[in-house]
Chains A and B, each alone.
Chain A
Amino acid sequence: MTTPAMTRDRTGALCTIGPAAVFMVGIVGIPLLYIFYVSFNGLHFSFYAYVTLLSSRLFFQSLWSTFETSILATVLSVLLGYPVAIHLARQSPRRRALMMILVLMPFWTSILVKSYAFTIILGRRGLINSALSYLVGHKVALPLLFNKFAVVIGMANYLVPFVIFPVLASLLAIDPALGRAATLMGAHPLRVFRQITLPLSLPGVIAGASSTFIISLGFFVVPALLGGRHDVMLANLVDFYTRETLDWSAAAAIGMCLLAIIGLCGVMAATLRKVRRA
């Protein structure tokens, strides 16, 4: 039975999320279906793209390297971004707006320019190695560039804002009275953080971490410029098949595999949460 309230609800929903839903179906759903179709070689149905991938060492190594790099970059971004968000949350709105511009700075610099800057910082004769050499008194040349370390640093440099903004939103939504009440009851600031701030900001952390992770999976330029020969990412492979060999089935199959893995991770996370709640 439908009550008038329910009908009103449904009309409201249609008006508010309807346009976005139609848009997303058109712009994401249909192309995704097409990629699925292409991955099976379109009209000439075949599993060859999947067979090729699953028998390719290059694919599995890239897959592993992609996940390893993405997890490391996400962890580092959260560790760096969280304290910044806390600091921002404590500022006056005016100061906060100003500081947010600083947070967004890395976005406005070309990735090529930045990678060159990282060469100057992390290189054999870079700032860090030169400073260490000066302090120690003899030549130091730590291998900081053209390896996973450099890739993770370079990626975090780009990704930190994706953590800061959702975490900041969560922090600002916390009722300040909670913290004040706890302090009045004699709670140590660390305890306030552990029992109030941290748990209440977790949704922001989860949102930030998952978007950071997903963006990381598609990284392409930073690993190519700052990485060593072991740092191949799946995006490089997709590019290789799309633009160099024009084997779009293989490229589409990689996309599908990646989507399946991420979907699986999502389902697992959701189940885990349900189990914990039960």
Chain B
Amino acid sequence: MSHSRAVSHKVRRRNFCLGGASALAAPFISRRSLARSGGELVFVSWGGSYHNAVRKGLVEPFMAETGIHVTMVDTPDLAKVKAQILSGNVEWDIFDSPGPLAATGSREGYWEALDTTHFPLSELSVQPTHDLAPFCLTAGGIAYDPREFPDGRHPRTFAEYFDTKRFPGLRTLRNRVSETLEVALLADGVAPDQLYPLDVERGFRMLDTIKPSIIKWVEATTQTITMLEAGEADFSYSYASRVQAAQASGGVSIDFSFAQTLNFLEYLSILKGAPHRDEAMQFVAFALRADRQAATMDMLVNRPVNEKAMGMLSERVQRWMPDINPGRNALVNDAWWAQNYSGLERRFKEWTLS
């Protein structure tokens, strides 16, 4: 997962008060239904610094504003969602997950249809689907050590990443077919807006060409950074937010190329049969509000999906926001992966073994 270690940052009062237009359902009604169903709204999200950012930017202001108590649980696990739904014992309300998980859950019918009445739809750069609300956007791309490889000596685009003659050196790619196949196709010159449906054969042929230069097919996201730090890889496929966090922690010479990125979404969804369905809808609407998006993403260093929030980000964070306009960058199509992931992932794993 590409979640950054964010620098702690106080929620700004100004942001806190902004953007009340995307209003809330009447809090007392919610509170009454919450009391009836018993317990608290359960929000499943990621641990570590991601947890802190979401807690300060989203959960605490939500509790203050609505009086609804939210319990945070770490690590969205789709297998647990399946178990809860199969056993009819649903304990979680809101699920915070990256595209592949969210879309698989969608295919399996694990999410409630979203009530978008209170969503600030006109402000969103990506529209919600019937059961998935895009929450933020992460950029995958090329990380390198600028001290060792100054400008001109490191690949900037995916085509250059695959050009091992012009830019000799060891590289990393992820040990999964999603993202990797897109990167290969972009490297081969496929136009970003014509990626899908992916030309699988062409992608694998392209991957064949780079296989000998891949020192590590990375399983854990942290390794996309540590491989560079330790000098095990010369260039690494990593994430803007991760690189920013590594830079901010100091002592590491590392940078990220925004010349071309593969962007992908993180989603919020509500479990089918969630015990606090209405409050959960209210929470998701709250999470999409410009002020909440700005406060949270200022810490996460992911791109807000609410475009109005872009202007509210601090300058420090602005420079780390990927471009989402059609051009060189591509957006991962999660619906396509939901249909094709399991078969292709098996093929990809067999391919890496051969």
Contacts and interface: CB of A to CB of B under 8 A. Distances in A.
A80 B106 CA distance: 50
Contacts of A119: 226-227, 230, 232
Interface in A103-118: 112, 116
By size class, the interface of chain A is: 20 to 34
A246 B82 contact: yes
Contacts of A245: 104, 341-342, 345
B79 to A, nearest CB: 5
B88 interface: no
Nearest to A229: B352
Contacts of A61: 350, 353
A123 B232 contact: yes
B232 A246 contact: no
B219 interface: yes
Contacts of A125: 230-231
A58 B346 contact: yes
Interface string A186-226: 00000000000000000000000000000000000000110
Contacts of B175: 224, 229
A225 B345 contact: no
A225 B219 contact: yes
A230 B219 CA distance: 13
A229 B219 CA distance: 10
Contacts of B214: 229
B4 to A, nearest CB: 17
Contacts of A126: 230
Nearest to B105: A246
A201 B349 CA distance: 43
Contact of B216 (A116, A146, A247): A146
Contact of A246 (B78, B222, B230, B353): B78
Contacts of B78: 243-244, 246
Given A57-B350, A61-B353, A225-B219, A244 B232 contact: no
Contacts of B350: 57-58, 61
Interface residues of B, number: 29
A242 B104 CA distance: 12
A247 B79 CA distance: 10
A61 B352 CA distance: 11
Interface in B306-354: 341-342, 345-346, 349-350, 352-353
Contacts, number: 69
B215 A58 contact: no
A229 B353 contact: yes
A242 B219 CA distance: 17
A153 interface: no
B22 interface: no
A245 B79 CA distance: 9
B77 interface: yes
A120 B230 contact: yes
B223 interface: yes
Given A58-B346, A124-B232, A224-B219, A244 B226 contact: no
Contacts of A228: 216
A244 B343 CA distance: 12
Interface string B197-237: 00000000000000000111101101100110011100000
Contacts of B220: 112, 224-225
B108 interface: yes
A124 B231 contact: yes
Contacts of A50: none
Contacts of B352: 229
B100 interface: yes
A114 B286 CA distance: 40
Contacts of B82: 246, 248
Contact of B346 (A56, A225, A230): A56
| In the A-B complex, the 9 residue pairs with the closest CB atoms | A224-B219, A245-B342, A229-B352, A125-B231, A243-B79, A119-B230, A58-B350, A242-B79, A229-B217
21 contacts: A58-B349, A112-B220, A116-B226, A119-B227, A123-B230, A124-B232, A224-B175, A224-B220, A225-B220, A229-B217, A229-B353, A230-B353, A232-B349, A240-B349, A242-B79, A244-B104, A244-B341, A245-B341, A245-B342, A246-B104, A248-B82
Interface of A: 56-58, 61, 112, 116, 119-120, 123-126, 145-146, 224-225, 228-230, 232, 240, 242-248
Given A56-B346, A247-B342, 8 more contacts: A57-B350, A57-B353, A112-B220, A124-B232, A125-B231, A225-B220, A228-B216, A246-B82
